[in-house]
Amino acid sequence: MVEHVLVAPDKFKGSLSAAEVAGRVSAGLGVPTVELPVADGGDGTVDAAVACGFTRVTLEVTGPTGLPVTASYAWLDEQRTAVVELAEASGLRRLPGAPEPLTATSHGTGELIAHAVRRGARRVVLGLGGSACTDGGAGMVQALGARLLTATGEELSRGGAALRELAKIDISGFIDISGVEVAVASDVDNPLLGPHGAAAVYGPQKGATPEDVVLLDAALGRLAAVATQTHGLLGAVEHDGTPRPMGVAGAPGAGAAGGVGFAALAFLHADIRPGIDYLLDLLGFDEQVKGARLVVTGEGSLDEQSLRGKAPVGVAQAAARAGVPVVAVCGRRTLSDEELRAVGIEAAYALTDLEPDPERCMAEAGPLLERLAARVAAERL
């Protein structure tokens, strides 16, 4: 068998999808390759799954501002598995204009999950990242059949701020998820509330002012309190049975995607797993890396964020277990050779090595990436 190069990159945000990066790298390498576009649960997760053999299912759902958007999830029929990406329905890229930090909703994400469950899903992988909302997943659970009510029995309006008026959660009409495994793919370990919570850490990225952050944190606290009072929050213990000091709201990852992690734990009884590790397993990385002589991974920017569980580091760690060397391609890099080697990446090749103008790098990413891959081949193969 001819040894191949496994090309397993994430997207170059704003320039190329992961599949496009893989195609360009393969063309530039000029040797037998296997292309395995990857993602870590954020933007591009559905695209990566589709590139690896899943089918795209597209439907119209509610966008973050309440306007309809066209979104999709990935479906693998033989495994009855759906990959749902929150950013597809409820992401910042779905905003028609300015951010709406107090009223943006995760409703569309719930509609995607409901569609997959009704299709017969036995496993739903929910990728969190790029969220436009800080609603604690309230919109998502409403779309799944829960009723969030005020003291006078009125349905809450959309968005996180409305949760201040929450008095009761009625789950009598909740979709039947018995027998459905829900796994959240996320590398965020923030709790729901407090200085490290969803509102404080991520609210400003979604347009929240300091005053909005205080309001949203209090509103999310109200959601957690009412949810605990009304149905007890199954899952308020660790897997070994020990109680969590703050219940589900204090669980690592509850603050992911504006608190959608909390709703997934509390209402879907989900497990939160490291995004890239779980998705590499789902996409069959361990099988594809067998017999490879090199793995080429990458993303648009190799920087400090990359070290916090992003796709290239996850790929490097998985390849190391198979004893296969790894190099990375990227648009730009701020990490030193020593930092890269510490996480298993032997070398990094940046578009800015070829073209110092960042704007040209973005505009001409494809051809530049082919040239960069040719350099990888000359030096490493």
Least confident of 16-30, 133-147, 162-176, 268-282: 268-282
Burial degree of 296 (CB within 10 A; 0-12, 13-18, 19+)? buried
Residue 45 to residue 210: CA distance in whole angstroms: 31
Query: Which of 182, 188, 143 is closest to 42 using CA atoms?
Result: 188
Residue 260 to residue 115: CA distance in whole angstroms: 18
Q: Tell whether the model's pLDDT for residue 192 goes beyond 70.
A: yes
pLDDT attached to residue 241: 42
**109 token code pair:** 């994400």
Tell me what the pLDDT averaged over the chain comes to: 93
Fold of 4-36+284-380: Rossmann fold (3.40.50)
Q: Tell whether the model's pLDDT for residue 244 goes beyond 60.
A: no
Residue 6 to residue 208: CA distance in whole angstroms: 42
Could you tell me how many residues make up the chain? 381
C-beta separation of 165 from 153 below 8 A: no
- Segment 19-47 shows an average pLDDT of 95
Residue 128 to residue 131: CA distance in whole angstroms: 7
Q: Tell whether the model's pLDDT for residue 14 goes beyond 70.
A: yes
| Residue range 92-122, pLDDT digits in tens | 999 999 999 999 999 999 999 999 999 999 9
For the chain, percent of residues with pLDDT exceeding 70: 95
Structure confidence at residue 248 as a pLDDT band (50, 70, 90): confident
What are the residues whose beta carbons fall under 8 Å from the beta carbon of 255, sequence distance 6 or more? 188, 190, 191, 192, 193, 196, 197, 198, 201, 202, 261, 262
pTM assigned to the model: 0.90
pLDDT attached to residue 69: 98
Q: Tell whether the model's pLDDT for residue 235 goes beyond 50.
A: no
Q: Tell whether the model's pLDDT for residue 237 goes beyond 50.
A: no
Q: Does domain 45-276 have CATH number 3.90.1510.10?
A: yes
Residue ranges of the domains in the chain?
4-36+284-380, 45-276
pLDDT attached to residue 327: 98
Q: Tell whether the model's pLDDT for residue 242 goes beyond 80.
A: no
Q: Report which of residues 245 and 131 the model is more confident about.
A: 131
pLDDT attached to residue 240: 44
Q: 64 forms bridges with which residues in the sheet?
A: none
Query: Which of 102, 95, 109 is closest to 67 using CA atoms?
Result: 95
Burial degree of 207 (CB within 10 A; 0-12, 13-18, 19+)? middle
Residue 63 to residue 294: CA distance in whole angstroms: 41
> 97 — phi, psi (to 5°)?
-160, -130
Structure confidence at residue 232 as a pLDDT band (50, 70, 90): low
Q: Do domains 4-36+284-380 and 45-276 have the same CATH topology?
A: no
